[in-house]
Structure 1
């Protein structure tokens, strides 16, 4: 089973490499679920760990405007030029079905980049049709909580995803993965991969007029999560 760290900072990238994570999903602003990271952060990650870049212009839902979709295609092209491992993408129609037309265009631009579908999949109304569509489009994997608030609550459906996939696409369990549930999810679902951020809320810039709360990588949590699955 592969381990993917959702990395949103320079420190998270360094720790992912130091502790032997198989790859990272690189993003920024975990506080809104992650958005496309900066060019500099992509370059920082490239030489340190296998990097798959989240392509998402904002937080919120996955029904994007035509302008947002155009920007995402530009971001995919930039990741390809930067020669990173893959992109993490997804988009839905107003009817909450996969936006097949956009995904086809994105896949064409991505070329040899590995394609991961992010948790837009969990908002799709017909998961069986969505999964088969991703397979047909050449996606390597799908990140999913089993269409539940977290992967523990969605573990029964996650097992169904694994069964239907028949190793044609990797099922990566993610969403609310923590030290208390990771071993259970691993044992009961048998996913191809597990995805987590190993973060905690911290105050940044204490004493500054710009003090704020942010989700930050926690090295102790990362070690505990890896130990829980014998990594």
Structure 2
């Protein structure tokens, strides 16, 4: 079973690469659901990570997935940059006002990728019908869908994930996936790939102004998840 690790920092990406992740989904602001990483971070990760494929999340802002023309223009530029920088793939998503995939926008992003593998992110999980969305994504040339089956956790969306796994795209299951229940998820969904973002909170140094903790990759959980995946 393949393992994709989401990380929003260089240290986390290097650790995921060292621990044997098949794929890294690189983003910024992971605790907010992830945004497009900056060019400096992408360049450093591509330079340092030699084993894992690096796929770039393209998301211009927090919140929903209905984008303005200006935001679409930004996303197109970010896809082009990821491709030219040497990323192994991009991860995108866009919805229309009806709660279905915005096929026009997604088609534009696939064109901008210029043959680079394109995955659909968890915008699929807020679609009216995730299974229909997976079929639609395949028709647009999108090769992979990242999904929890429309639920908060993959465990809860297992039945939908199993139906999605029967479509013409590769389904990467996500949503609270950890080593201790990986076998159960694999059996319940039939997927051959999982995505996880195991993080641990690190307190900020003391001072008069407290900016709160920040999250780093949980290396032990990452190690355990990859080890368990190799046994499946």
- Under a length normalisation based on structure 1, what TM-score does the superposition of the two structures give? 0.93
The match for 1:189 is 189
Q: Cα offset for 1:6?
A: 0.4
1:205-227 C-alpha deviation (Å, 9 max, x unpaired): 34362532222211111112223
Q: Which residue number corresponds to residue 141 of structure 2?
A: 138
Structure 1 residues not aligned, in runs of 5+: none
Give the distance between the partners of 1:207 and 1:215, measured in 2 at CA: 19
Deviation at 1:190, TM superposition (A): 2.4
Alignment equivalent of 1:89, drawn from 67, 88, 92: 92
2:176 maps to which residue? 176
CA RMSD of aligned residues (A): 1.5
Shift in alpha-carbon separation, 1:206–1:145, aligned structure 2, 3 A: farther
In 1, the alpha carbon distance for the partners of 2:130 and 2:205 equals 43
Answer yes or no: is the 8 Å Cα contact 1:205–1:211 preserved in 2.
no
Q: Where do 1:91-170 residues align within 5 Å?
A: 91-163=94-166, 165=167, 168-170=168-170
1:51 corresponding residue in structure 2: 54
Unaligned runs of 5+ in 2: none
**Separation in 2, partners of 1:192, 1:70:** 34
Contact 1:63 1:91 in 2 (8 A): yes
C-alpha distance after superposition, 1:100-136 (max 9, x if no partner): 0101111111111110100001111122331121111
Residue correspondences, number? 228
For 2:180, what is the secondary structure of its paired residue?
coil
Q: 1:29 to 1:205 in 2, by over 3 A?
A: farther
**8 Å CA contact retained: 1:205, 1:212:** no
Q: Secondary structure at the match of 1:53?
A: strand
Give the aligned partner of residue 18 of structure 2.
Answer: 18
Cα pair distance change 1:194/1:210, threshold 3 Å: same
Counterpart for residue 75 of structure 1? 78
CA distance in 1, matches of 2:132, 2:190: 22
Structure-2 separation of matches of 1:10 and 1:171: 26
Cα distance in structure 2, aligned partners of 1:132 and 1:11: 36
**What's the TM-score once normalised by structure 2's chain length?**
0.93
Contact 1:23 1:51 in 2 (8 A): yes
| Gap change, CA 1:208 and 1:90, over 3 Å in 2 | farther
> Aligned in 2, Cα 1:21/1:180: closer, same or farther, shift over 3 Å?
same
CA distance in 2, matches of 1:102, 1:117: 12
2:222 corresponds to:
222
